[in-house]
Amino acid sequence: MLLSGLAFAQYPQVVFSGQDLAEYMDETVVFAQTLYVCGHSGRTLFLSYERMRSPEEVAPVGTTEFTAQQLKCESGFLTAYCYHIFADTVRLGSTITNLQAYVTDSQNITIYGNLNFGNSQAPTDHPDVGNARLLLCASNLQYYCPIWQNTYGAGSDEEFRVQNLKILKGLSNINADLYALEEVQEGTAGLDSLVNGLNARTAPGRYAYIADGNTTTSTYTKVALIYRTDKLAPYLSIGFPYTYTSSVYRKREYVQAFTELATNERFILSVNHFKAKDGTGSASTNAARMANVQQLVNFLTTHLNSNYYNDADVLIVGDLNCNSYEEPLLYLENHNYQDQLKVYSPDGYSYVYDNQVSYLDHVFASPSMAAQVTGAAPYHLNADASYRQGYYYGDTTMYRYSDHDPIVVGLKLGSSQISILDNENSDNEIVIYAVGKNIVIRPEQATDVIVYDLLGRTVAFRSQLQQGYIPMPTAGLYLVRAGNQVKKIVVE
């Protein structure tokens, strides 16, 4: 709210940075700064001097940086009661400049006048993800179809109708070539309704879903994949990697390779929904998410080492229910999967909880895949949107179709070209040579090995190879990357 010079002169000016306001008790003050709406409830706004990030978005638990951010979050909010607005209609991230308010407690204020909010417009287009040829969208839907009674989804036929409409509007607005979805009801009805709805909004037969063999409907949810049939084709099939009956694994991780029809390039997509938190912090359910990620990495490593897909380009996406510096995500990084949101959108977020922003939804890429990602970013359709835009209030816009923001990823497959002169004369301790149609690698310590053809396409991949050989499909010239060394090898 902008004030005149007279108002500034009349009331004390305060710059809030988390301090106690007791010295201004029962006084009207002007906050001579921009404040951010970080949360709301009823007629109450939770304001701060910045969008506050969850401590585990900043650093691992136990570090000095984590403790500092934790203290910052504990002291960094003003609780503002508003007389003239319903606070829970305000979009999170909106700003208020030069707010005039009455101090009622150490960090409690009352706002009597109307408010003018800045930065309150919802986005209408997905963020720029670079010069991509394929667009991937990963999104949590919380979509129960055909059974929505007594679930976490819709509470009535009308709520379900509105939820379905909102989801279809949101997904068709993104216009992705591949949708990696979490929290879709078991069975085929939910996927049928999504694919039929997308095709009705675009073109007949444009989209199809991966038939995962799961046809029995229950109130449990699974992950799922929907793809453009004119852009992509499924390659081989693994499906759900695990047969466990525990809710930690069952139907919550899916692996599928795709071939881009225009280029014949291929990549492997892993869509996941790790064990959810229980509201008491990350510690109580961390073991379950660690089991998720360890099983996933072991599974992918086994199939990459056996060259099942004849490709090493792996993209891991989904609702991993972890902030960026939690142990399961550090485990992925320690196993050579690169966090693409740290690369392309380090200050972003996909979720808001307890007035703090964080990433629960993630994108990780293997070394060869990372070079083919053109961008990755959250699309703030949901997390910042008011609760009153939810389907349970009858709102039919695309906003708040879920409580998680979708993540949009740009891909340009085959765009990573390896020069045959790259490190050709490097003094590297890794011994690489050819024997017949086999490439022999003898590193001093375990290292990832990728073999490319001269077009830069991945021919073979071995994770943490100690020593051994890799058979080549045909004779010819290959480029072998072992650790930081790239060497030209002729196979006869």
Model confidence over 284-342: pLDDT tens digits?
Answer: 799 999 999 999 999 999 888 887 887 889 999 999 999 999 999 999 999 989 999 99
**Ordered DSSP codes for 76-116:** --EEEEESSS-GGGSPTT-EEEEEEEEE-SSSEEEE-S---
Distance from C-alpha of 361 to C-alpha of 423, rounded to nearest angstrom: 37
For residue 417, the model assigns a pLDDT of 44
Cα–Cα distance for residue pair 195/386, rounded to 1 Å = 28
Separation of alpha carbons 89 and 438, rounded Å: 65
Identify the helix (H) or strand (E) that includes residue 259. strand 253-260
Is 264:293 a contact under the CB 8 Å cutoff?
Answer: no
Residues of the chain with pLDDT under 50: 1-5, 417-428
> Is the dihedral angle over the CA atoms 14, 16, 17, 18 positive or is it negative?
positive
Q: pLDDT, tens digit, for every residue of 100-158?
A: 999 999 999 999 988 999 999 999 999 999 999 999 999 999 999 999 888 989 999 99
Q: Are 480 and 441 in contact (CB under 8 A)?
A: yes
- Kindly tell me the burial class for residue 6, based on how many C-beta atoms sit within 10 Å of its own C-beta (0-12, 13-18, 19 or more): exposed
What is the C-alpha separation between 317 and 320, in angstroms, rounded? 8
| Alpha carbons 175 and 172: distance in angstroms, whole number | 5
User: Angle formed by the axes of helices 283-305 and 327-334, to 10°?
Assistant: 20
pLDDT computed for residue 308 by the predictor: 84
Find out whether 390 and 343 touch, Cβ atoms under 8 Å.
no
Cis peptide, bond prior to residue 55, ω within 30 of zero: no
Q: Which helix (H) or strand (E) holds 485?
A: strand 485-491
Q: What is the pLDDT of residue 491?
A: 83
Which domains does the chain show, CATH number per domain? 5-111 (2.40.50), 134-411 (3.60.10.10), 431-491 (2.60.40.10)
Q: What tokens does 361 get?
A: 């939804």
- In three-state secondary structure terms, 184 is strand
**Confidence at residue 279, expressed as pLDDT on a 0 to 100 scale:** 67
Cβ-defined contacts of 384-387 (< 8 Å, 24+): 384/91, 384/92, 384/93, 384/122, 384/352, 385/91, 385/92, 385/122, 386/40, 386/88, 386/89, 386/90, 386/91, 386/92, 387/88
- Other beta carbons within 10 angstroms of residue 308's beta carbon come to 14
Query: What is the rounded CA–CA span in Å between residue 141 and residue 160?
Result: 12
The H or E element containing residue 141 is strand 134-143
Q: Look at residue 248 in the predicted model and tell me its pLDDT.
A: 64
Asked if residue 365 lies in contact with residue 123, where contact means CB atoms within 8 angstroms, the answer is no
Nearest to 25 by CA among 109, 111, 104: 104
Q: What angle separates helix 157-174 from helix 189-201, to the nearest 10 degrees? A: 50
Tell me the pTM: 0.85
What is the DSSP secondary structure assignment for residue 404, as one 8-state letter?
Answer: S
- The number of angstroms, rounded, from the C-alpha of 229 to the middle of its chain's C-alpha atoms is 24
Structure tokens at 201: 């909004």
H helix or E strand, kind and range, residue 207: strand 207-209
> What is the residue type of 93?
G
- Among residues 130, 199, 166, the alpha carbon closest in space to that of 374 is found at 130
